[in-house]
Homo-oligomer: A and B are copies of this chain.
């Protein structure tokens, strides 16, 4: 895989840019992705819940119960940080911490019904907001977005 040197910014030294069209594509997609993500993130079930807290609940909803260490690893924070977040969510009644069956050093962290409800309601609001927006588009535009979503997932996973 070859590396491309990009010079799109305002500190351009004057050297001509070899691939102007591709650069424009990347910048446009980057900005559009950030703006749409920001709008979607604003749609929440519990307004006082931070993104980090919600991400933990969402991970448990999608991937099932975790040990503390695996949860910290998945969210890319340290174990003490995750321990603190988990404690707050436990106090709020959104998840439970139970001793692991086999290895008693570990704990099993799982969603409660209340925690699952928060995830479901947040997902519902975000999708409802987006759905309403999609309804204002043409069929071709919607097909373009659906196809783009597949490609974006592929790109994000590389």
Contact = CB atoms under 8 A, between A and B. Distances in A.
A100 B29 CA distance: 36
Interface string A41-78: 10000000000000000000110000000000000000
B2 A131 contact: no
Contacts of A149: 4, 25, 28-29, 31-33
Contact of A27 (B23, B127, B156): B127
Interface string A1-29: 11111111111000000010011011111
A155 B124 CA distance: 18
Contacts of A155: 36, 39, 130, 133-134, 137
Contacts of A151: 137, 141, 144-145
